[in-house]
Amino acid sequence: MDELLLSKIRLAAIAELLGSEWVAFSALVRAAETTNGNLGAHLAKLVAAGYVDEEKRFVDRRPPTLYRLTARGRDAFVAHVRDMQALLER
């Protein structure tokens, strides 16, 4: 099992990023059903592990932070889901 993905919030964030090129922080907060500060801390760990890329853009003088899933993060997510399914089948 991937230790990083044992957290429900990090797993939810990765799952939300799975079908998108990029997702804004605000959309990830809604999907993970958590607070800005909490999600920010979890995303920082995913970024540090190379699972997620972070990008800041300026739109209407506001800097929305965008996140995208890396190939490494996608592989880790798939492997993690496979491990959980194997655990259930045992």
Residue among 19 and 37 whose Cβ is closer to another protein: 19
Residues 24-43 that bind another protein (CB under 8 A): 24, 26-27, 31
60 binds another protein (CB under 8 A): yes
What CA–CA distance (Å, rounded) separates 47 from 29?
A: 16
Structure tokens at 80: 């993690």
What CA–CA distance (Å, rounded) separates 82 from 35?
A: 29
- 34-42, 44-52, 77-85 -> range binding another protein (CB under 8 A): 77-85
Report, in Å, the least distance between residue 39 CB and another protein: 14
